[in-house]
Structure 1
Amino acid sequence: MSVENSVETKPLDLAPGEGRAIWHMGALMVFKATSADTGNQFWLAEQTSNLGYASPVHLHTREDELFYVLDGELSIEIDGVMHHPSTGGTVFAPRGLAHSYKVESETARWLVLGTPGGFDGWFFDTGKPAERLEVPAFNPAGFPDFGEVIASVEAYGGKVLGPPRGTGD
């Protein structure tokens, strides 16, 4: 029995290492499912970043995010409350709440799920195809203008509230 769906979606089956890989502001992101793959229901990316990598404090008005740590340790602040997931840990960041995250181990690898879909377009718009499946070398000249980042996030219903916090304190 099939359920009626207003958007036709197809099953998705990716092997380890497969997916749309991009380098995004110092991170490797491999999208295991995009909004286009799921009829805009969600997107799922595996992110790998090195010690100290951090997001600015921001919020989403259209989607919730879920973080599942595969390897390493993160600190994630949500609405003023600090969370410290390590391997196997899960943290949920509901839409509308300010949050940021920081890599606290030498490297960390985690899944990030956004639902409903749509925000993954921001990563594709502001990242570039990964040349290799590894975290890119740090290159401050390759980072976009912060004003441009703020404007591009707002186009996807997000809001940047400030620079990364010292979430490891």
Structure 2
Amino acid sequence: METENASSSLVRQPGEGPRRWFYGGGVHTWKARQEETAGAFLLFEDEMALNKVTPLHTHPDSDETLYVLAGEILVNLAGTEHRIAAGGLAMAPRGLPHAFKVLQEGTRILCLQTPGSAQSFYDGASEPLSNSDDPNGSGLVDFSRIRASGQAHGGIEIIGPPPFA
């Protein structure tokens, strides 16, 4: 059972939490939203398809930590590439240019942003999914919508195309 109260505690069981199709590709299952943590952090699970890439970007006001639950990603941190397998972690401090590419089918990551000030960006760059929706969402990747949400709400700056060969 899901319990939500920013002034006390938050419990979400496996599979619980609002689900959204992110226009960068992938389904976000929200484990902790900004309003639930009094702005301290955001936490979501991201299920992504093989070969998904992100553009080179920064988060000007938050640190981003990626913990790989399953699969493998290639992370570019300020021009240096690192392969991160299940159980591994990568952290991009605020303002550091970074991007990642999914290297295995079935890849899932936990994404932690501190502080949790970018919720409006993520909401503007995604659409809600019901539990009966296809787990791959609408499948439409639209970086222009991500850029527009970042310009309208902050939280991200797109600084270039994906840096991967």
In the alignment, the residues of structure 1 paired with residue 85 and residue 31 of structure 2 have an alpha-carbon distance, to the nearest angstrom, of: 21
Contact 2:71–2:85 (Cα < 8 Å) also in 1: yes
In the alignment, the residues of structure 1 paired with residue 73 and residue 143 of structure 2 have an alpha-carbon distance, to the nearest angstrom, of: 26
Which residue does the alignment assign to 1:150? Answer: 147
Task: Tell me if 1:160 matches 2:161.
Answer: no
* Aligned ranges 1:1-169 → 2 under 5 Å: 9-25=7-23, 26-131=25-130, 132=133, 134-136=135-137, 138-139=139-140, 143-144=141-142, 146=144, 148-154=145-151, 155-166=153-164, 169=165
In the alignment, the residues of structure 1 paired with residue 91 and residue 143 of structure 2 have an alpha-carbon distance, to the nearest angstrom, of: 29
Contact 1:10–1:37 (Cα < 8 Å) also in 2: no
In the alignment, the residues of structure 1 paired with residue 134 and residue 36 of structure 2 have an alpha-carbon distance, to the nearest angstrom, of: 21
- Supply the AA of the counterpart residue of 1:84: R
How far is 1:157 from its partner? 4.0
Which residue does the alignment assign to 2:3? Answer: none
In the alignment, the residues of structure 1 paired with residue 31 and residue 8 of structure 2 have an alpha-carbon distance, to the nearest angstrom, of: 14
SS at match of 1:160: strand
Larger radius of gyration: 1
SS at match of 2:9: coil
In the alignment, the residues of structure 1 paired with residue 50 and residue 10 of structure 2 have an alpha-carbon distance, to the nearest angstrom, of: 32
Q: Deviations over 1:119-148 (max 9, x none)?
A: 132111121111336122534xxx4462x5
How far is 1:115 from its partner? 0.4
> Which consecutive unaligned segments of at least 5 residues does structure 2 have?
1-5
Q: Which runs of 4+ in 1 moved over 6 A?
A: none
In the alignment, the residues of structure 1 paired with residue 134 and residue 122 of structure 2 have an alpha-carbon distance, to the nearest angstrom, of: 16
RMSD (Å), alpha carbons = 1.7
TM-score normalised over the length of structure 2: 0.87
How far is 1:93 from its partner? 0.6
Aligned residues: 156
- Supply the AA of the counterpart residue of 2:148: A
Contact 1:73–1:87 (Cα < 8 Å) also in 2: yes
SS at match of 1:62: coil
Q: Deviations over 1:13-52 (max 9, x none)?
A: 0111001110112311001000100000000000000111
Identical residues among aligned pairs (%)? 32
In the alignment, the residues of structure 1 paired with residue 149 and residue 41 of structure 2 have an alpha-carbon distance, to the nearest angstrom, of: 20
Distance 1:28 1:62, change over 3 A: same
How far is 1:64 from its partner? 0.2
> Which consecutive unaligned segments of at least 5 residues does structure 1 have?
1-7
